[in-house]
Structure 1
Amino acid sequence: MTRISIPLFLTQEYDCSYLDGEQAQSAFVHPTFQLTTPIYSQLIGQGFRRSGDQVYAPRCLQCSACIPARLAIDEFKISRSQKRCLKKNDQTQVIVKPPVFEQQHYDLYMRYQKMRHGDGSMAHSSPDEYLSFLSSSWCDTRFVEFSINNRLAGIAVVDYLDDALSAVYTFFDPELSSYSLGVYAVLWQIEQAKRQQRKYLYLGFWIKDCKKMSYKREYQPLQLFNNNCWTELSF
């Protein structure tokens, strides 16, 4: 593996989005540095994460709650509830698309945000803000459509990396929540990674005391990035 020097800059402290009363700080790859999918494939293995064109890692002074999480595809053990989810979605149609703006995708995103995260800033996203958050000018990203009875039901945004997939974001029609499309999207990505002989599925950050992140413990065995190494954590 070729070693490269990547310039970073440290943000000022800001209110944490996940833990009430906490202050957060992040290290970002400097915008003058030209990122590529191969370089990001190395950075994500070191605990970094993409948001739009920006790549960052938590560097909070008083807190280390945000822990990068991933699954080793060949070691994944499906649970009974996940098998039921697959059965429930055995007629769900899937289409993989390029990361371009589509009005029905945006409309679904806004319905999801207003229903699930109505008090957050993303519930007021413009079309440009929506696309710049999920897509990237340099990363190999796809929008995966899930449809039920010819009705758009959900979208999984997935980065295709050198030896892994990365689950960027998933949103779905709140009226179809009984299909557990958030779970199905992760299971679909696991199966795709297996078919493509990729080693990992990156799941973003796991935060023990954040309910929004608690679902990640359902995918076992989960690997967490602590002290600059990946270790398996079973619950």
Structure 2
Amino acid sequence: KMTRNQKRALTSCKDIKMKIGDPVYTEEKFRLYLTHKERFNSLQDDVEDEQNFRMSFYVNTPFGIEFEYYQDGKLVGVALGDKTSKSFSAIYTFYEVPNKRMSLGTYSVLKQLEFARQSGMKYFYLGYYISENASLTYKSSFRPNEVYMGREWRRFRNAAGDYLISKKRLQWKNSELLVKAASTTITPD
């Protein structure tokens, strides 16, 4: 069941045109990526130049898929993912905000979920969730959801939005290149 915010995202992006296909690099996409990163100061990764961007997202992507979002013929967003017969993994989404009322990031996830459902995929992965990172907090609103802790998948939020695992029990370790999830020992509440 969609939340009110998710319904608003669909409405706010009703004029967006979407194109789905294989990932294809363009300089326009790299510029859009840089604009997106500037908006979220909390984004830290090793993809700072055009060559790293191309290599990270557009080279050797045998399972790759790309969603392009256009408004009035102008590219305003890109979502990259991996797909198999059973699962979809959202890799990275970057976009500009042509209108502050638009929720292009949420809209993109909804369109990727729709694609996965229509393709008969059983699993949908949104990737890392870091509550302190403003560009990643939206992920917890897609529920019910699970997190991978202690070598198993555990329910994180139920459909009503209740947290089933305290966010304090999730730890995050930063390395120079990646942000990796780790868990603490879980004790009963």
TM over 0.5: yes
Contact 2:80 2:90 in 1 (8 A): yes
Correspondence for 2:170: none
1:87 to 11, 14, 27: 11
Q: Which residue of 2 aligns with 1:74?
A: none
The match for 1:128 is 51
1:222 aligns with 2:145: yes
Q: How much does 1:198 deviate?
A: 0.5
* Counterpart code for 2:145: L
More relative contact order, 1 or 2 (CA 8 Å, 6+ apart): 1
**Equivalences for 1:55-204 in 2 at 5 Å?**
77-117=1-41, 120=44, 125-204=48-127
Shifted more, 172-181 versus 223-232: the winner is 172-181
State the percentage of identical aligned residues: 25
Structure-2-length-normalised TM-score:
0.74
Q: How many residues align?
A: 158
* 1:56-112 alpha-carbon deviations (Å, 9 max, x no partner): xxxxxxxxxxxxxxxxxxxxx211110111122222101113222212111211222
Corresponding residue SS for 1:201: strand
Q: For residue 23 of structure 2, what is the amino acid of its counterpart?
A: P
Where in structure 2 are there 5+ consecutive unaligned residues?
Answer: 163-189
Check the 8 A contact 1:115/1:174 in 2, yes or no. Answer: no
- Alpha-carbon separation, structure 2, partners of 1:138 and 1:121: 19
Q: Per-residue displacement from partner, 1:181-226 (whole Å, max 9, x unpaired)?
A: 1101100011111101101110112234444432111111011112
Counterpart-to-counterpart distance in 1, 2:99 and 2:12: 12
What CA distance in whole angstroms lies between the structure 1 residues aligned with 2:72 and 2:61?
34
- Per-residue deviation at 1:171? 0.5
Question: How many angstroms apart in 2 are the aligned matches of 1:79 and 1:164?
Answer: 23
Q: CA deviation at 1:162?
A: 3.0
Give the distance between the partners of 1:192 and 1:177, measured in 2 at CA.
26
Structure 2 CA distance for partners of 1:119 and 1:144, relative to 1, 3 Å: closer
What SS does the corresponding residue of 2:127 show, helix, strand or coil? strand
